[in-house]
Amino acid sequence: MAQPFDAELEELVSKFSRDLADQIRALILRRLGIERAPQTRPAPRATAVRSAPASAPAAPASSRTKRAPSRAPATVRAPVSERRHASRPTTEERAAALERIVRIVGNGNGLSVGEIERQSGFTRGAVGSALKTLKDQGRIFMGGTKRFARYATTQAAADQASLEARRGAAA
């Protein structure tokens, strides 16, 4: 008596685990932006065949399971690691950008990040990263903080430009 019960239980667990795995896979693919049409599995074999009573009408054709409409294949995109680093500058480009920013700061009289950004044509993030590198190398200096931060080739010039920016804001 335990044999049929064990077989039926094993079949239910197997079906449940397959369905759960399919649902998890579909969820992950949706989160990644990859939509696939649901795959149909063959109907599982039943261990015991039960026939309907002869008086029961057959199910109408419209109530049968329908297939999901097929979708156009999802657009294949490059892996995230390739997309994220596709526009990363080379070492030579980064060195040229650093030199350009040093020239801009050297020609100015204590410049803010926004002024350097406008003159260089680089993004705020690129300018900030370059300024941090140049400060760490001791090639430029920063005077003041936050909105009054100014960059120059000497500490005295940077501090003076920051004080002037503060006075201008107070007036």
Listed range (5-9, 10-14, 68-72, 123-127) with the worst mean pLDDT = 68-72
The backbone torsions φ and ψ at residue 111, rounded to the nearest 5 degrees and listed phi first, read -110, 150
Residue 34 CB-density burial (10 A; 0-12 exposed, 13-18 middle, 19+ buried): middle
Where is pLDDT greater, at 107 or 35? 107
pTM of the model: 0.50
CA distance 32 to 78: 12
Tell me the average pLDDT of the chain. 80
pLDDT digits (tens, 9 = 90+) for 23-42: 888 888 888 877 655 555 55
What is the distance between the alpha carbons of residues 90 and 97, in angstroms, rounded to a whole number? 11
At position 157, the amino acid (one-letter code) is: A
Output the six-digit token pair for 75: 């657009």
Name which of 169, 139, 171, 170 is nearest 158 in CA terms: 139
In percent, the amount of the chain with pLDDT more than 70 equals 68
List of residues 6+ apart from 53 with CB closer than 8 A: none
CA–CA separation, 78 and 86 (whole Å): 10
Report the residue count for the chain. 171
Q: Which of 7-11, 56-60, 147-151 has the lowest mean pLDDT?
A: 56-60
Report d(CA 128, CA 122) in Å as an integer. 10
Q: Is 78 helix (H, G, I), strand (E, B) or coil?
A: coil
Q: Give the pLDDT confidence of 65-98 residue by residue, as tens digits.
A: 566 555 655 566 666 666 556 677 789 989 999 9
